[in-house]
Structure formats: C-alpha cells, structure tokens
C-alpha cells in the first residue's frame, strides 16, 4: 500500500520569526521530490519542522503521515513510523560508537514493530551475526572504512563522512520517507557520487512491504540531481512553494537563476499533485 | 598466591595497637575539611561497633594458566612492603583505618618479580554478617604485570563495609586493577585505597561506585620513584537518596612521574556527590606531568554535585592541570537520537553509557559487562540486552 | 610586641618613603569600646552608626581567625593604631590642602591626573579624606561621590538602606573589624540611567607606623546606570606590620553595570585582608578587575551574588607573589537566580619563594534554570623555590547548568624562551616578555594609566630573576 506524506498550508518559524508562510506539498511512496530555492527560503526549516525539532514552532497549517496528524506525534514516534531526517550538520555524540548506536536503533524499531501489529516497520533485530554482516556490507557499499563502526558517532568526521553516515543510517533503518537537508552541501564530487549511490539503492529497494522509498531532497545546487533523478521538482521562495514541475525544471533554474521565481503566483496542492 | 596473615607476631601487635587507637579516637567530624560535605554523625555508626561480620576472599583458579606466569607462596614475615603499610597506619589514618586493621583479616596477593598472566585475575571478596572489614594487599614484585578484577560483594545483612586495599608496585611493574563494590541500597561503604608506585612502574586503577546509601572513598597514590605512572579513574552513579564522596590524591614525590585522574559520574534527582581531587607536587618532583578531571552529568533537577579539584605545586618544572565540568545531556544529541526512533529513556541511556564509555574501554569484559548492565538497569529500569559489546568489530 | 628595627627592602621600592607624621589626632594602640566611641565622636556620627560600630566590635572579639588561607600569625592586634585623623575637615579645593600632604600628592602625580579631567579624586591620608573634589557635570547628574563619613551625615537614608547589607558585620572576623573602626573610603551613588563615562578613582596611603587601614566603600548603581571605579594604592615601608582590612560593597540594581578595578601594590610588610562583595540584580553586570602585586599577605576573594535573572558576574584576577609574599586570592560567585552567567579568569605568578594560591567558589542554588559558569586559572611558577596552589570548589544544586573549570600550572616554556633568545633577547628579557604576554588579556581590561603602571610594576618584580 502506498504511503503518503502530506503538508497543507504549513506555517512555522523560530524565536518569534515566521519562516514558512503556508507551504503545500504531497509525497507518495516511490517518489523522489527535489526542493530547491535560494538561501533563506525556508528549506531547512521545513525539514526540521517535519522531523519535530523542538526549536521550531508550528503556527498554522497541518502535516499528516498516512492521514495521521504528524504534529501530534513526538519526534520519536515520527521516526518509528518511518520518517527520517538526514541533517545538514549532524550533531557529534562522543562516547557512542556507530555500531552500538545502530544496533540499539534497530532493536528499538523491532520492539516497536512487535508491539504495534501492522506497523510498517521491518524486522530489525534478527541475529547478531546478521546485523554485523549487514552493517559491514553497507559500510563497504558506502565506501566507508570498517573502522568507522567503532568510532564515536560523527565525532571528527569530515563533511563527506558525515553525509555518508546519514545515508548509511537510512540504508540500515530503511525509512519510508526521508527528508534530506542540503544533501550535497560541503561534498566534493567523489563523496557526492557515493551519497547518490546510496540514495539510488534506497530507491531501488522495495523490501519494505513492496513500497518504494519516498524522499524530499533539499538542495541548493543541481549536482546531486544529475546523479539521483527526481520525479518532481519544487521551488521554494520566502516560505512557500512557488513553482513545481518535472525534472526539466532543474535546467531552467540553472539557466535563469532564482530571481525570476520571486514574481510567480503560488500554485495549489491540486496543481502540484497532478 | 593469596595467603592469610593470622599467625604473624608483628601483624598481631599492629592489630592490638589498632584496636586501642580505634577505641580512643572519635569519628571524623564535619569540621575536618575532608569530611565537611559528608557528615557521618547521623549515620548511626556506633551501632556497628562490635558488630560481627566476615570477609571471605576467593580468586579465580588456575592463576598459572598462561605460559610464563608463576605465582608462588609468599613468605609473610619477609614482606617489607606490607609491614611498612601496617606501620604507616600506626601514625596517620582515621578511625576507619584503625577499625579495618583491628577487625579485619588481611589477605595478600603476591605477584612474584617478572611474573605475568594472560588473563585477568578475578578476586571476589564476599562480605557476610552485619559489618565487615576486608583488607587486601597486592604486592607486585619488580617487573611483574597483572590485570586484577576485584569485586567486593556484600551479603544481604551487611549494613557497613569498611574496605581497605593496598597496592604496592615494585620497579617496572604494571598493575591494572578494576574494583567494584556491590550491595543493596542501604549499605554504608567506607573505602580506603592506597597505592605506592616505584620507579617506572605503572598503575591503572578504575573503581565503580553504583551501590549503597553512603559511600566515602579515598584513593591515595604516591608516585615514589622516577618515571612512575598512575591513572586513577572512577565511574559513579548517584541515584536518589545516595550520597557519594570520592577523593583521589596524586602525590608526586619524585621526578618525571606522570599521573592522570578522571572521575565521571551521573546523578539522578535526589542524588548527591562530592569529588575531591588533589595533585600534590613535592619540591624535588621536577618533570611532573599531572592531570585531574571530574565530569558530572546531571540527569534531573534536585541533584547536587560538588567538585573540588585542588593543586598544591611546589616545583616549577611541571605541567599540572585540572578540569571540572558539570552539566546535563545535550538536547541536540537527544533530539538526534529521537529522530532515529529512540524514545527519550533509551536515548538518555545510550548517551549516559556513551558518557562513561572511555572509562569502560580500558576494562576487561568480565568487569565492564556486568557494570554496563547494572547502569542500564539504574538508568532505564530494565536490562538492556544490547548493552554488551558482542557485536564489536 | 614587635621591636621596631631599621628595615632594608630587598628590592628598591620607588615609593618607599614617608612624610613627617602630621597626624593631629590619633587613638592609642589597641582596640576597645572607648576607642570605637572616640572614632565615632571624631566623625560626629549619629547614634545609629555608633551602635553599628559597637555591635561590630563585639562580633570581632567573638569571631575566630580563619583556619585557612595565608599565614596571619604575625598580626598583633593589640599593637596597632586603629585611627588617625590628619586635619580638621574635608576640603573641596586643592588650595586648601596642607602643604605636606600636597607634597605627598605631588610625588604621586595627582595634579597631573587632575589635569587629565578625572571625575574626582578622594585621596586618603591616614584614614581621612583630605582632598576631595567633584566635577560639576557629575553633581548635575545627581552622582554622589564622597567619603563615607559625609555620606552618613548628608545621605543617611541611602546609607541606612544599603550599608552593611552586602557584607554584614557578622560575615567574618575582618568584616567585623572594619565595621567597628572603618574610616574613610568612598561612597558612590549613581542615579537611574546615568552613565559615568570617566572612571572614578581614589588613592590610599598608609603613612603612619603600625597603622591599620580600614576604609569602607559602598557603591550603589541605580537601575540602568554605569560606573567604573578604580582603587589603587601604594604604601611606604615600615618595620612593624601594617594591617589593611577594607570592606567594599557594591549594589547593582536592575540593568546596572559596575566595574571595580584595583591595582594593589602595598609594600611587603602589609597584611591586606579585604572583603569585597557585589550583589547583581536583574540584568545587572558586575566586573571585578583585581591586581595584587604587593603586600606580605593578601586574602581577597571578590564576590558576586547573582540574585536577579539575566545577571552576569565577572572576575579578572592577577596575582604576583615574590619573595616572602603570600597571595591568597580568587573569586566567589553565587548563582541565586536563573538565566545567570559568570566568568572568572585568574592569572598568577610566583617567584623567589613566593606562594600564590587561587581560592574560589562557584555555587549554584537549587531549582534554577539556564546557569552558565566558566572559570580558568593559569599559574606560572618561575623558579623551583616558589609555590602555586589552586583550591576551587564547585557546589551545584540545579541541573540545567553548564559549569566549567580549568586550571593549569607550569613554568615558562623552554621552547618559548629559546625562540626569543634565538631572536636576540637575553633570558631576562625573554622571561619578562613571556610573563607580560601571560598577563596581557587581563592588562587589556585596565585603563591605560593602570596598564602602564602594572607593566612597570611587573618589570620591577621581574628584575633580578634569571632562571
């Protein structure tokens, strides 16, 4: 069954300043959406608000995951129901190794899955040997040295290593929807290709009950979109989505820059979803 | 070989004089700087005078398992280090030290010169009765090397445990000692650890305090020979109603010695802790490199953490520093884990174990695994089956 | 009883001279109720202040000497003079100051300072303010800058409201002593919203044998005001010990900011025991800049009690302990409200057998949120005869806090010395440069004349140090 992440008229901000001014968007399983826009348009705010970062406040509108009110769920609950936010600047957690963190995350998912029948959460626990093998294989696929398993999570990682770690987590935790904030910031071409490799594998993996992987790639530049072809492209400006279209929009934006976007009228959700 | 000292004359004399010293001295008072924050006057200590109790010490069999290791019988009368230690208590030491010497039975683990063992030596000391005063002396001969896991486990009736541990490291020896005190929530623990480190010898001492109602613990390490090195680490958890007063002393008596101390603790609401640390550098201890740190993690409002790191430096050719930080878990870190599906309690558990991780790393699994399990239970209330490091690469 | 002997200072002390004693009134040696009454009568004080002094005397007698800190065994309380008054009344014009006293101030450079448009100078000569002038614009703004005796007479409401509220006479033995025999000092009141742009300054001198200095300073900064007060002192050399036991109280009301700077350079026979404490209310800021170069024994721990939300306290402390000296200094910060922060920076140097000790407390009361504190203590020990101690204490009773403390003790790095010497510095010059660099972050916080004087003092202290 296809899943839907739906956002309607979302208004949100931080420290009394409103950043999202009524945003509409709908993502279904199997769809890769790209979200582009100039700096300050609110792209990162959207990503953070959807994952439940308490620093931001929702002041209007709604968002739902399969019809369930997203904002009524805690960050933990959103994650357990299959939402994943890949951070632009992942926090460092000294003392907690990558291996221990991932194992525990999978266990919690599995416990949740056992408690919540019908929940779209894959079997995570399995046997220990299976976990280790799966982790090693995934690390190899993401071209990360095996020693990262025992390194403290994100501590001392370069920008590229941090991004690969976020993608690695997605490959291990298999979320239904991922929101990837500034997916390509700070990456050189090689790191970017590896990140794209991971995203494409997620896209191709239909092991989550036959559903595809849905994603919102938040990006300023087109480079990643050369490697991971989006199904839909949206342009944000001053807290709203002002233009939506197919992949050809990327080329147009590159030619014309972001300035022309300022004068566009805001399309409705119906128009976007078609 | 672990041997009993009951039959030695000079030892018996030391015990007699300790008994009279105990009888004639008062409990430490709150006007004494070292006891100021841990007032013992309300603990009902008098009720334990004359209370009976025993300590039985057992060690893992097969100490000579590894190739080259050889632990032979000790000639007790000729153990100068032990005798010196007994004599030392005659002069200084508080009422608890005298009490331990008077009432306790001394056990000695002797590691002959040059010996080494591939596996950790497990020493388990079981306390039974009402009040018990175990005393263990570890004497490492020149060049000896060993890893010792020392568990002191109190039986159900124990109300007071007065523990003494002496560590004598001969030149070039290396001891790694992992000590834990395990009991119910109502026990009073008084712990006195003394170490003397000779030329070029190395000591690692890690103590874990997660039991009891009241713990007063002191680790006093004298770096007596040039090139001596000591690491004094501690892990503690002060749950509600528990008070921990932990003190380390790094005494630099000779040149070019190095020492490091790191005590990390987590406190729940209603828990309280005091970490006192002293680095003392004598006039001739040039080339000293010493560091002391205390890190306190507050897990709830209503915890009280006192931190008193002290430096007394009498020589200028030194590098000495200390640090202390007290704070909470980072909300950013908690949110990151929540966004990965962790509930708040599991996130806190992972982060607190992460906080202690650098200290576990040095310990053998036989020490750290049960400790991690115990901490998980204290933090979340249920055993974390994923806590062990089985999966590690 | 100490015999008075000729005293040859080990280091030439530029200001180690004294004038002919022109005291016109001096109590006998020792301290009792009659002496306290005589002091109060000399000042024409109202009865409420006399009663305050008498209660304080009683407290002084009852309290024990501190059993920690610097060695104070050399103080002979019965052998000190507790009060001397040099002339008949305060003057407002330079012309009216007695000649011998003028000569004193000439040599101290005060006329120059006056020419530099300082706001006002309350100069102290043996416990009385003899020269006092207030610039017109300050008077117009309603700023009161006078001696405490005048304040008692002319502003009794303000004095009764705040005097002894920050440091009660029961606080410690030396606060009790000061409260009994205080004389001279400064009283500052800055009205709401007033910014005093020029630092208010005062000089003190001890100029009588075996004399105690007990000045009392009270600074009240009303809401939203700003004032910077500078206290600097010098003293001549004497054979018998001199005792300086001052009390400084600061009240910073909501939104006020007060900075109090001291460069203490008493000669090496003085016991300098000072209680300095500030209370900072909502959004107020108090900064103590404390330099201790001289004196035989110093015990001084500038404190800030952060009692209102948003308050911030800072202590910058420099201590130099040379031969025969013990500098026992530090800071005390008490966080009594949420959303407060504090920073303590302490730098000390010990040489020639001197002992420098940092003693500090950071206390966070329970039930508070968003409290941050950072303490950094750096110590240099210049030779193997000298000692450095660090005795900090953190008492934390709330959890929404970030408390950090760091201390480092070392000597001058060989590699740094070598680098400079390889650039042509002698070892002595290299040492001095490195020490100056060590102190620089604090010296930058001082007004220029003080920075210059401090650097000159450090140079003097460093002379004769090689290796």
Cβ within 8 Å, pair C389-B305: no
Query: Which residues on B lie below 8 Å from A136 (Cβ)?
Result: 393
CA distance C213 to chain B (A): 32
User: What percentage of residues in chain C have a pLDDT greater than 90?
Assistant: 44
Any idea which of A174-183, A232-241, B47-56 has the lowest mean pLDDT?
A: B47-56
Average pLDDT rounded to a whole number, residues C301-309 = 97
Minimal Cβ distance to A146: which of B346, B351, B393: B393
For residue C57, give the nearest of C230, C194, C178 by alpha carbon.
Answer: C178
- The residue that leads in pLDDT, A21 or C1, is A21
CA distance B393 to chain A (A): 7
Q: Which of residues 344-373 of B touch A (CB under 8 A)?
A: 344, 346, 350-351, 353-358
pLDDT at A259 (0 to 100) = 75
User: Would an 8 Å CB–CB cutoff place B250 in contact with chain C?
Assistant: no
Cβ within 8 Å, pair C384-B317: yes
CA distance B28 to chain C (A): 17
Cβ within 8 Å, pair A87-B330: no
Give A132-161 pLDDT, tens digit per residue. 888 999 999 999 999 999 898 888 999 889
User: pLDDT band for position A186 (50/70/90)?
Assistant: confident
Secondary structure class of A96 (helix, strand, coil)? strand
Cβ within 8 Å, pair C407-B304: no
Query: Which residues on B lie below 8 Å from A180 (Cβ)?
Result: none
Mean pLDDT, chain A, as a whole number? 85
For residue C275, give the nearest of C259, C257, C288, C293 by alpha carbon.
Answer: C288
- The residue that leads in pLDDT, C154 or B107, is C154
Question: Is residue A225 over pLDDT 60?
Answer: yes
Q: How many helices (H) and strands (E) are present in chain C, helices listed first?
A: 11, 24
Question: Is residue C64 over pLDDT 80?
Answer: yes
Question: What domain range is A104 assigned to?
Answer: 4-273
H or E element in which residue B182 lies: strand B174-182
Report the predicted TM-score, pTM, of the whole model to 2 decimal places: 0.80
User: Would an 8 Å CB–CB cutoff place C405 in contact with chain B?
Assistant: yes
Any idea which of A123-132, B33-42, C330-339 has the lowest mean pLDDT?
A: A123-132
Minimal Cβ distance to C367: which of B301, B312, B315: B301
Minimal Cβ distance to B316: which of C384, C393, C405: C384
Question: Is residue B387 over pLDDT 50?
Answer: no
What is the interface size between B and C, counted as CB pairs within 8 Å? 116
**Measured distance CA(A170)–CA(A184) in Å, rounded:** 16
User: Would an 8 Å CB–CB cutoff place B322 in contact with chain C?
Assistant: yes
Cβ within 8 Å, pair B335-A53: yes
**Measured distance CA(A84)–CA(B381) in Å, rounded:** 28
pLDDT at C230 (0 to 100) = 80
CA distance B95 to chain A (A): 40
Average pLDDT rounded to a whole number, residues B365-391 = 69
Longest dimension (CA), chain B: 68
User: Would an 8 Å CB–CB cutoff place B384 in contact with chain C?
Assistant: no
pLDDT at B255 (0 to 100) = 95
Give B8-61 pLDDT, tens digit per residue. 677 777 788 888 989 999 999 888 888 989 989 889 999 999 888 887 777 665
Any idea which of B24-28, B75-79, B174-178 has the lowest mean pLDDT?
A: B75-79
Minimal Cβ distance to C396: which of B283, B304, B311: B304
Minimal Cβ distance to B393: which of A90, A96, A99: A99
Whole-angstrom CA distances from C389 to A13, C333, C342, C357, C362 are 51, 19, 22, 4, 17
Query: Which residues on B lie below 8 Å from A85 (Cβ)?
Result: 339
- The residue that leads in pLDDT, C453 or C361, is C361
H or E element in which residue C390 lies: strand C387-396
Residue of B nearest to C387 (CA): B314
For chain C, the C-alpha Rg in angstroms (whole number) is 22
Neighbour-count burial for B12-44, b at 16+ CB within 10 Å, e otherwise: eebbeebeebbeeeeebeeeeebbbbbebeebe
Chosen from A84, A85, A86, A91 to mutate, greatest number of chain B CBs within 10 A: A91
Query: Which residues on B lie below 8 Å from A93 (Cβ)?
Result: 333, 336-337, 351, 354
Neighbouring residues of B191: CB distance < 8 A, sequence distance ≥ 6:
B163, B164, B165, B181, B207, B215, B216, B217, B218
**Measured distance CA(A52)–CA(C215) in Å, rounded:** 60
Answer whether A105's CB lies under 8 Å from B359's CB: no
CA distance C106 to chain B (A): 42
User: Would an 8 Å CB–CB cutoff place B78 in contact with chain C?
Assistant: no
Neighbours of chain B (3+ CB pairs under 8 A): A, C
pLDDT at A31 (0 to 100) = 92
Residue of B nearest to C354 (CA): B314
User: What percentage of residues in chain A have a pLDDT greater than 70?
Assistant: 88
Give C380-405 pLDDT, tens digit per residue. 999 888 999 999 999 999 999 999 99
Give C180-207 pLDDT, tens digit per residue. 999 888 899 999 999 987 777 664 333 3
Torsion angle of C-alpha atoms A52, A55, A60, A66, degrees rounded to 10: 0
CA distance A174 to chain B (A): 11
What angle, rounded to 10 degrees, do the helices at C427-443 and C448-462 form?
Answer: 150
pLDDT at B75 (0 to 100) = 41
pLDDT at B74 (0 to 100) = 36
Cβ within 8 Å, pair B333-A93: yes
Give C85-108 pLDDT, tens digit per residue. 554 344 445 555 445 445 444 544
User: Would an 8 Å CB–CB cutoff place B31 in contact with chain A?
Assistant: no
Neighbouring residues of C452: CB distance < 8 A, sequence distance ≥ 6:
none
User: Would an 8 Å CB–CB cutoff place A101 in contact with chain B?
Assistant: yes
pLDDT at C11 (0 to 100) = 30
Give B105-134 pLDDT, tens digit per residue. 777 787 888 888 778 888 888 999 999 998
The pair of structure tokens assigned to B57 is 């010490």
Minimal Cβ distance to B311: which of C383, C384, C389: C389
Minimal Cβ distance to B311: which of C396, C404, C407: C407
Mean pLDDT, chain B, as a whole number? 85
Query: Which residues on C lie below 8 Å from B314 (Cβ)?
Result: 387
Q: Kindly tell me whether chain A and chain C come into contact, counting contact as 3+ Cβ pairs under 8 Å.
A: no
Give B260-307 pLDDT, tens digit per residue. 999 999 999 999 999 999 999 999 999 999 999 999 999 988 899 999
User: pLDDT band for position B7 (50/70/90)?
Assistant: low
User: Would an 8 Å CB–CB cutoff place B19 in contact with chain C?
Assistant: no
Give C30-53 pLDDT, tens digit per residue. 788 888 998 898 889 999 999 999
CA distance C345 to chain B (A): 14
User: pLDDT band for position C424 (50/70/90)?
Assistant: confident
The top-scoring range by mean pLDDT among A201-205, C284-288, C424-428 is: C284-288
Average pLDDT rounded to a whole number, residues A94-122 = 78
Query: Which residues on B lie below 8 Å from C389 (Cβ)?
Result: 310-313
CA distance A77 to chain B (A): 7
Give B306-344 pLDDT, tens digit per residue. 999 999 998 889 999 999 999 999 999 999 999 999 999
Query: Which ipTM value was assigned to this complex?
Result: 0.79
Query: Which residues on A lie below 8 Å from B375 (Cβ)?
Result: none
For chain A, the C-alpha Rg in angstroms (whole number) is 18
Mean pLDDT, chain C, as a whole number? 78
Question: Is residue C60 over pLDDT 50?
Answer: yes
Neighbours of chain C (3+ CB pairs under 8 A): B
User: Would an 8 Å CB–CB cutoff place A108 in contact with chain B?
Assistant: yes
- The residue that leads in pLDDT, B393 or A138, is A138
Cβ within 8 Å, pair B391-A146: no
Cα distance between the two ends of chain A: 20
Question: Is residue A258 over pLDDT 90?
Answer: no
Q: Domain coordinates of chain B in residue numbers?
A: 2-329, 330-393
Give B145-162 pLDDT, tens digit per residue. 999 999 999 999 999 999
Please state the length of chain B.
393
User: Would an 8 Å CB–CB cutoff place C344 in contact with chain B?
Assistant: no
Answer whether B261's CB lies under 8 Å from B277's CB: yes
Whole-angstrom CA distances from C422 to C411, C416, C417, C426, C438 are 19, 10, 8, 9, 20
For residue B332, give the nearest of C73, A92, C83 by alpha carbon.
Answer: A92
Give A18-65 pLDDT, tens digit per residue. 999 999 999 999 899 999 988 878 888 998 898 888 888 999 999 999
**Measured distance CA(A25)–CA(A65) in Å, rounded:** 12
Q: Domain coordinates of chain C in residue numbers?
A: 25-300, 414-467
pLDDT at B54 (0 to 100) = 82
User: Would an 8 Å CB–CB cutoff place B340 in contact with chain A?
Assistant: yes
DSSP-assigned states of every residue in B292-355:
EEEEEEE-STT-EEEEEEEEEE--SSEEEEEEEEEE---HHHHHHHHTTT--HHHHHHHHHHHH
């Amino acid at each position: 069954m296809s899943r839907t992440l739906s956002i309607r008229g979302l208004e949100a901000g931080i420290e009394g300043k409103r950043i999202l001014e009524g945003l509409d968007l709908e993502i279904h399983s199997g769809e890769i959406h790209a979200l582009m826009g100039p700096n300050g348009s609110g792209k990162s705010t959207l990503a953070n608000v959807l994952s439940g970062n308490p620093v931001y406040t929702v002041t209007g509108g709604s968002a739902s995951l399969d019809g369930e009110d997203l904002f009524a769920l805690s960050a933990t609950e959103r994650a357990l129901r299959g939402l994943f936010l890949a951070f632009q600047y992942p926090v460092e957690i000294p003392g907690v190794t990558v291996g221990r963190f991932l194992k525990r995350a999978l266990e919690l998912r599995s416990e949740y899955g056992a408690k919540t029948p019908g929940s779209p959460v894959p079997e995570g626990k399995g046997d220990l040997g299976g976990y280790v093998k799966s982790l090693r294989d995934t690390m190899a696929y993401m071209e990360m040295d095996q020693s990262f398993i025992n390194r403290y999570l994100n501590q001392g990682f370069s920008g590229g290593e941090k991004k690969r770690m976020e993608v690695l987590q997605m490959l291990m935790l298999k979320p239904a929807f991922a929101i990837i904030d500034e997916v390509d910031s700070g990456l050189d071409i090689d790191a970017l290709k590896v990140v794209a490799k991971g995203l494409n594998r997620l896209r191709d993996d239909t092991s989550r009950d036959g559903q595809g992987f849905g994603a919102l790639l938040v990006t300023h530049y087109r480079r990643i979109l050369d490697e991971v072809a989006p199904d839909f492209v949206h342009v944000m400006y001053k807290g709203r989505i002002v233009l939506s279209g197919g992949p050809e929009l990327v080329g147009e934006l590159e030619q014309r820059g972001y300035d022309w976007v300022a004068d566009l009228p805001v399309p409705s959700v119906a128009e976007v979803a078609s | 070989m672990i041997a009993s000292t009951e039959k030695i004359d000079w030892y018996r004399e030391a015990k007699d004089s300790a008994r009279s010293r105990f009888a004639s001295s008062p409990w430490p008072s709150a006007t004494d700087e070292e006891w100021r924050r841990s007032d013992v006057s309300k603990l009902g200590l008098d009720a334990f005078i004359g209370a009976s109790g025993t300590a039985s010490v057992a060690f893992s069999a097969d100490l000579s398992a590894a190739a080259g290791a050889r632990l032979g019988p000790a000639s007790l009368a000729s153990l100068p280090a032990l005798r010196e230690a007994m004599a030392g208590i005659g002069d200084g030491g508080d009422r608890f030290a005298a009490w331990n010497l008077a009432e306790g039975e001394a056990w000695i683990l002797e590691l002959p010169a040059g010996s080494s063992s591939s596996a950790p030596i497990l020493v388990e000391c079981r306390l039974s009765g009402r009040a018990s005063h175990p005393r263990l002396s570890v004497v490492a001969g020149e060049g000896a090397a060993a890893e010792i896991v020392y568990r002191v486990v109190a039986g159900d009736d124990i109300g007071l445990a007065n523990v003494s541990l002496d560590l004598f490291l001969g030149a070039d020896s290396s001891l790694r000692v992992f000590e834990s005190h395990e009991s119910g929530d109502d026990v009073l623990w008084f712990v006195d650890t003394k170490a003397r480190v000779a030329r070029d010898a190395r000591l690692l001492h890690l103590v874990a305090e997660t039991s009891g109602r009241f713990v007063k613990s002191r680790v006093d390490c004298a770096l007596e020979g040039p090139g001596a090195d000591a690491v004094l680490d501690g892990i503690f958890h002060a749950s509600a109603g528990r008070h921990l007063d932990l003190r380390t002393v790094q005494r630099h008596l000779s040149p070019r010695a190095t020492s490091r101390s790191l005590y990390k603790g987590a406190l729940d609401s209603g828990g309280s802790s005091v970490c006192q640390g002293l680095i003392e550098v004598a006039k001739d201890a040039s080339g000293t490199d010493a560091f002391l740190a205390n890190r306190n993690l507050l897990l709830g409002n209503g915890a009280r953490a006192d931190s008193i790191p002290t430096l007394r430096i009498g020589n200028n050719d030194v590098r000495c520093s200390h640090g202390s930080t007290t704070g909470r878990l980072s909300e950013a870190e908690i949110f990151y884990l929540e966004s990965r599906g962790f509930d708040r309690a599991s996130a806190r558990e992972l982060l607190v174990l992460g906080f202690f991780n650098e200290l576990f790393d040095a310990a053998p699994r036989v020490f750290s695994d049960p400790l991690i399990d115990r901490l998980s239970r204290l933090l979340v209330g249920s055993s974390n089956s994923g806590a062990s490091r089985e999966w590690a690469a | 009883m100490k015999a008075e002997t000729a005293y040859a200072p080990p280091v030439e002390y530029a200001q180690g001279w004294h004038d002919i004693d022109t005291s016109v009134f001096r109590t006998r040696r020792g301290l009792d109720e009659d002496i306290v009454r005589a002091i109060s009568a000399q000042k024409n004080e109202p009865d409420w202040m006399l009663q305050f002094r008498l209660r304080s005397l009683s407290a002084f007698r009852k309290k024990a000497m501190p059993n920690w800190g610097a060695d104070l065994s050399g103080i002979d309380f019965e052998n000190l003079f507790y009060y001397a008054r040099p002339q008949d009344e305060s003057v407002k014009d330079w012309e009216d100051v007695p000649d011998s006293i003028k000569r004193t101030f000439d040599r101290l450079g005060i006329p120059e300072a006056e020419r530099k448009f300082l706001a006002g100078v309350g100069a102290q000569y043996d416990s009385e303010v003899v020269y006092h002038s207030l610039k017109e614009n300050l008077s117009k703004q309603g700023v009161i800058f006078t001696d405490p005796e005048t304040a008692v007479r002319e502003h009794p409401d303000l004095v009764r409201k705040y005097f002894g509220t920050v440091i009660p006479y029961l606080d410690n033995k030396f606060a009790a002593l000061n409260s009994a025999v205080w004389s001279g000092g400064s009283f500052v009141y800055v009205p709401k919203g007033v910014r005093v742009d020029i630092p208010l300054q005062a000089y003190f001198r001890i100029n009588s044998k075996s004399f105690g200095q007990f000045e009392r300073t009270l600074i009240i900064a009303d809401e939203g005001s700003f004032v910077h007060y500078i206290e600097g002192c010098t003293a001549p050399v004497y054979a018998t010990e001199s005792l300086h036991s001052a009390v400084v109280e600061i009240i910073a009301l909501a939104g006020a900011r007060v900075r109090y700077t001291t460069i203490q350079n008493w000669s090496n026979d003085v016991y300098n025991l000072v209680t300095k404490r500030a209370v900072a209310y909502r959004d107020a800021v108090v900064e103590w800049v404390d330099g201790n170069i001289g004196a035989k024994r110093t015990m001084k721990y500038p404190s800030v009690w952060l009692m209102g939300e948003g308050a911030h306290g800072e202590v910058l402390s420099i201590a130099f302990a040379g031969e025969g000296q013990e500098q026992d200094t530090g800071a005390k910060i008490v966080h009594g409200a949420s959303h407060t922060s504090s920073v303590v920076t302490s730098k000390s140097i010990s040489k020639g057998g001197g002992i420098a000790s940092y003693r500090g407390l950071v206390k966070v009361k329970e039930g508070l949120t968003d409290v941050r504190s950072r303490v950094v203590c750096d110590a240099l020990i210049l030779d193997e005869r000298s000692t450095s101690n660090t005795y900090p204490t953190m008492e934390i009773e709330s959890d929404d806090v970030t408390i950090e403390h760091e201390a480092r003790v070392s000597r001058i790095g060989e590699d740094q010395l070598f680098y400079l010497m390889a650039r042509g510095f002698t070892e002595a010059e290299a040492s001095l440069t490195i020490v100056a660099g060590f102190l620089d972050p604090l010296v930058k916080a001082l007004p220029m004349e003080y920075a210059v004087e401090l650097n000159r003092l450090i140079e003097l202290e460093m002379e004769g140090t090689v290796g």
